[in-house]
């Protein structure tokens, strides 16, 4: 099975506004894909539909060859943009919570990631900075052994040094067996990670291409190409 994500004719309206407009694309196994576009492009809505948090209006979506539904959630580890954990928890509590919730959660991997990301497991979640909460959520997300990782703005509030550690963590997780879809504005930081890019604008898919092809054919970095595309969109 080479296609981890298959989307055909996907449409979604929220409050009568068209958020996603007839999207069709496929993502192959083992790829790191950048989901890119300005605010309001529909990136978060797309991730929430893939996670089956939002219901699509029409179209067909498959994850790991299965129609979108409860079963497909078992194949996805999702890092939302906003913290969803209880503030009274300690980080240790959050780790145990995830371990109880997900059969694919790896405690040993969680401990390793805590060391890499300088996370104190005895710290209260309520005391964490924005960057600290992002590190926590990324640790919990990647401590699961699953097929597809969905990351919604994973590194926006993190200092440059920690950002490098996080990028190495993402890269080490991409072992050819799993697929990672990253929605981010920090294109400069993740550019070297990406195998493919998916550009969204006003709910429309305007580009799906390999990073290598863009660099070779256009002679530009992904960030330069992104700026050119969206200046003219």
- Strand 17-28 and strand 3-14: pairing? antiparallel
Burial tier of 103 (Cβ tally within 10 Å: 0-12, 13-18, 19+): exposed
User: Is residue 111 assigned to a domain?
Assistant: yes
Non-local (6+) Cβ contacts of 18 within 8 A are: 11, 12, 203
Phi-psi sector, 52: left (phi>0), alpha (psi -120 to 50), beta: left
pTM as predicted: 0.93
Question: 9-27, pLDDT tens digit by residue?
Answer: 999 999 999 999 999 999 9
Using CA atoms of 37, 39, 40, 44 in order, give the dihedral in degrees to the nearest 10. 70
- Domain extent, residue 133, equals 3-34+55-181+198-208
User: Is residue 229 assigned to a domain?
Assistant: no
- Strand 196-201 and strand 204-210: pairing? antiparallel
Q: Is the pLDDT of residue 31 over 90?
A: yes
The answer to whether 174 and 149 are in contact (CB under 8 A) is no
End-to-end alpha-carbon separation of the chain, Å?
A: 35
The answer to whether 7 and 59 are in contact (CB under 8 A) is yes
Mean pLDDT value across residues 72-96? 91
Looking up residue 88, the CATH number of its domain turns out to be 3.40.50.300
pLDDT for 152: 92
Query: How many structural domains is the chain composed of?
Result: 1
User: Is residue 113 assigned to a domain?
Assistant: yes
User: Is residue 172 assigned to a domain?
Assistant: yes
């Amino acid at each position: 099975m080479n296609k981890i994500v298959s989307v055909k004719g996907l449409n979604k309206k929220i409050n009568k506004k068209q958020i996603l407009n007839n999207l069709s694309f496929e993502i192959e196994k083992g790829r790191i894909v950048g989901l890119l576009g300005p605010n309001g492009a529909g990136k978060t809505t797309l991730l929430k539909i893939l996670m089956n948090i939002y219901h699509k209006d029409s179209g067909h979506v498959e994850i790991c060859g299965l129609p979108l539904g409860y079963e497909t959630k078992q194949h996805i580890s999702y890092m939302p943009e906003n913290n969803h954990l209880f503030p009274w928890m300690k980080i240790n509590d959050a780790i145990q919570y995830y371990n109880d919730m997900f059969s694919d959660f790896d405690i040993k991997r969680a401990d390793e990631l805590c060391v890499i990301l300088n996370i104190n497991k005895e710290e209260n979640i309520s005391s964490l900075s924005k960057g600290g909460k992002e590190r926590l959520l990324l640790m919990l997300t990647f401590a699961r052994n699953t097929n597809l990782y969905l990351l919604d703005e994973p590194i926006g509030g993190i200092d440059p040094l920690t950002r490098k550690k996080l990028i190495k963590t993402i890269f080490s997780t991409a072992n050819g067996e799993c697929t990672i879809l990253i929605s981010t504005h920090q294109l400069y930081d993740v550019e070297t990670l990406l195998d493919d890019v998916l550009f969204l604008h006003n709910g429309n898919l305007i580009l799906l291409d390999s990073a290598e092809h863009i660099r070779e054919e256009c002679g530009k970095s992904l960030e330069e190409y992104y700026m050119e595309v969206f200046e003219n969109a």
